[in-house]
Structure 1
């Protein structure tokens, strides 16, 4: 730790996401932002502002050599995450990584293994997991308010930027997959992944995609991602045996609605479904009150707490690996025309917290 009461942090990457991290680390009481590293020095200086006293470096080696840097936050393309993270951890620094954790399960596993051997924190920046809405959803599921989970349907569509290096699955789906991993009691462990994608623009990659994931116990999860929609939708429906929850992230007045509505199946005999009686439940709807706070602020606070308490984070390296496992399975499914592929997330265990 640095000599002050704060944790010294350097942000690596000042492009799209880096300025958001810079702003939150500068505002947090737990952190002392001491450096920003980017190959484009002018871009880094612009992200900091004209009167900033924070130092800018073009070379990561110079950043990691500083005694006042206890941790780094990586906001660079996924293909660079492994090299930067491994170099930082070998220098004894804690590491926060923008989603996805890496560009492959193999590279992500190397990061997780080194973090354990070096006894440093490796944390995935699964930002949505730190929103009040997603944390409330996790609480309701854990408390049994929804009952047994029957289905999850998630939609993340907008008129977005076609990425040069990844398809729509790797660009948008990590948000939804990280949320599912966070809210499901045993994490995201689908029994298979089937992906269907389309490239109507002839961009050479899927611009529209659908993920279907059978879950343990007979439930199913479905994720729709799309760069081509003229309207923006951020919605998740979670159907349970007791209640159904709808999360509309673009509705600040009522982000979460819980419906006491559904289908009840009363069986006369466990061996004879034809004798079952179906009834429809039409109950009340309620909206839990949610605090207003920025997710990134909560995320950087969790990062500092993990370093001080020497514990794994809520979105640790294992969580990042489970997301990567599903993304890799989705890519394999696309190659085979949408067949069901085993993501083998069962080997990716939660770290002790």
Structure 2
């Protein structure tokens, strides 16, 4: 077995402590440093008796030969500078979503990592939950049939971000899940976005995304910082079955319904006849798959170490981050155009 990957976590704010806790619990990772501009905060996160070093010097972290990788959990505007410095120092990089603040910078990171033979991974945490792993099995295994629609809702009260709008804060979760779940060859072709700022925050706080897929199917995403109730649901409708994921229901996160609409008419019929006879309703059973609960961040950290050790792209690699950012940048253009459909930003070179 190879030695554990020496890791430094950068950022001791909201997300950094979660990375620290899961890195410490992952056998294939050896946490060496927690770096933050507020070194007292970093030391507080680690605890008085921790053997992990606390520092406010990023240069010292990058100069440490025992550190093979860094996990960046800092504001989005800092991701590019910190990640590029780590790649230049020969370190593998895990970056909290979004990958960078703009698509061009994301491309620079992806190309730098590939040129250097280093792992660049996005912390698309939800992709590593047992529910999303099962959703991927259902979609890719064909038991749902062809994907006909996707509806996703992610709303709650706060945290209102000072530097990015609700699309860049919450939608990466839903978009990364969608990217992870879509069958091979199915892509997002165009995006329409509507948003509002009812509290005069200066940034969009409520937003709706409509995505046109290459198959002609539609996906819809609603994100909202202002809802007094927390809702986390996704419905994936297939030609054979439909699955509902309710992340707020731990006793039944997934429900697979053998219910739907079947088209029975012959193509030889005229349009008027087809409207009368082509629809039949299917009312089968509902099955709730048993899921093994696991901490997604632990599975993500394990995948990061495995990708480094095996020299392969991570399941949510830099290019997955680019695909999500391409949708977000298209959504920004759509907002400026009053909600018109615009083509997804190019994420292939």
The whole-number CA distance in structure 1 between the counterparts of 2:223 and 2:155 is: 5
Which of 139, 143, 163 is the equivalent residue of 2:137? 139
Match of 2:88 in 1: 90
Per-residue displacement from partner, 1:254-283 (whole Å, max 9, x unpaired)? 000000000111122257343322111000
In the alignment, is the contact (CA less than 8 A) between 1:129 and 1:178 conserved in 2? yes
The whole-number CA distance in structure 2 between the counterparts of 1:211 and 1:55 is: 43
- Structure 1 unpaired stretches of 5+: 349-353
Match of 1:220 in 2: 218
Match of 1:351 in 2: none
Match of 1:51 in 2: 49
Which of 36, 40, 60 is the equivalent residue of 1:42? 40
Deviation at 1:51, TM superposition (A): 1.1
1:96-175 correspondence runs (5 A): 96-175=94-173
In the alignment, is the contact (CA less than 8 A) between 2:145 and 2:240 conserved in 1? yes
Change (3 A) 1:201 1:309: same
- Which one is further off, 336-345 or 123-132? 336-345
Which aligned runs of 4 or more in structure 1 are off by greater than 6 angstroms? none
Deviation at 1:345, TM superposition (A): 4.6
Match of 1:303 in 2: 304
Deviation at 1:187, TM superposition (A): 7.0
**3-state DSSP of counterpart to 1:288:** coil
Deviation at 1:189, TM superposition (A): 2.5
In the alignment, is the contact (CA less than 8 A) between 1:158 and 1:227 conserved in 2? yes
Change (3 A) 1:187 1:301: farther
Match of 1:341 in 2: 342
In the alignment, is the contact (CA less than 8 A) between 1:35 and 1:63 conserved in 2? yes
1:193-208 correspondence runs (5 A): 193-208=191-206
Alignment length, in residue pairs? Answer: 345
In the alignment, is the contact (CA less than 8 A) between 1:10 and 1:63 conserved in 2? yes
Scaled by the length of structure 2, the TM-score of the pair is 0.96
**3-state DSSP of counterpart to 1:229:** strand
Deviation at 1:347, TM superposition (A): 2.0
In the alignment, is the contact (CA less than 8 A) between 1:157 and 1:228 conserved in 2? yes
Match of 1:240 in 2: 238
Change (3 A) 1:271 1:343: farther
In the alignment, is the contact (CA less than 8 A) between 2:186 and 2:215 conserved in 1? no
In the alignment, is the contact (CA less than 8 A) between 1:189 and 1:322 conserved in 2? no
1:221-300 correspondence runs (5 A): 221-269=219-267, 272-276=270-274, 277-300=278-301
**3-state DSSP of counterpart to 1:328:** helix
Q: CA RMSD in A?
A: 1.3
